[in-house]
């Protein structure tokens, strides 16, 4: 609570570790089966691996930004991940909170 008795949210409270993890799991579930299927064209394999690497990097950034209290950067990381996820917006496991604005 602040001096006026209002509840003060911690940095990134709306961007919880659980939300990021859930979003990453959704993305990995879409790409893992592609990585495990054979044969896959070399360019396709590299593209899917690059997508997985980008998601992992963004997830790591989110953890660091939350630890540092950098809410604008955390919001930008969330936006990057949800932009990727929107490629599967018609998938039954896609959550409405990933729709963006």
Distance separating alpha carbons of residues 52 and 45, to the nearest angstrom: 11
In which band, very low, low, confident or very high, does the pLDDT at 3 lie, cut at 50, 70 and 90? low
Output the CA torsion 19→82→78→80 (10° steps): 150
Residue 2: pLDDT above 70?
A: no
pLDDT at 6 (0 to 100): 43
Neighbours of 33 (CB within 10 A): 10
Continuous segment of H or E residues that includes residue 61: helix 42-68
pLDDT at 1 (0 to 100): 41
Neighbours of 31 (CB within 10 A): 16
Q: What is the DSSP letter of 88?
A: G
- The model's pTM is 0.83
């Amino acid at each position: 609570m602040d001096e006026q008795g209002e509840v003060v949210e911690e940095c990134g409270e709306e961007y919880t570790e659980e939300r990021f993890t859930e979003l990453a799991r959704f993305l990995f579930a879409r790409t893992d089966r592609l990585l495990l299927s054979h044969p896959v064209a070399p360019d396709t394999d590299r593209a899917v691996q690059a997508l997985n690497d980008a998601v992992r990097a963004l997830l790591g950034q989110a953890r660091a930004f939350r630890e540092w209290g950098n809410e604008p950067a955390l919001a930008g990381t969330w936006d990057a991940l949800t932009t990727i996820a929107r490629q599967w917006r018609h998938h039954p496991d896609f959550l409405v909170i990933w729709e963006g604005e």
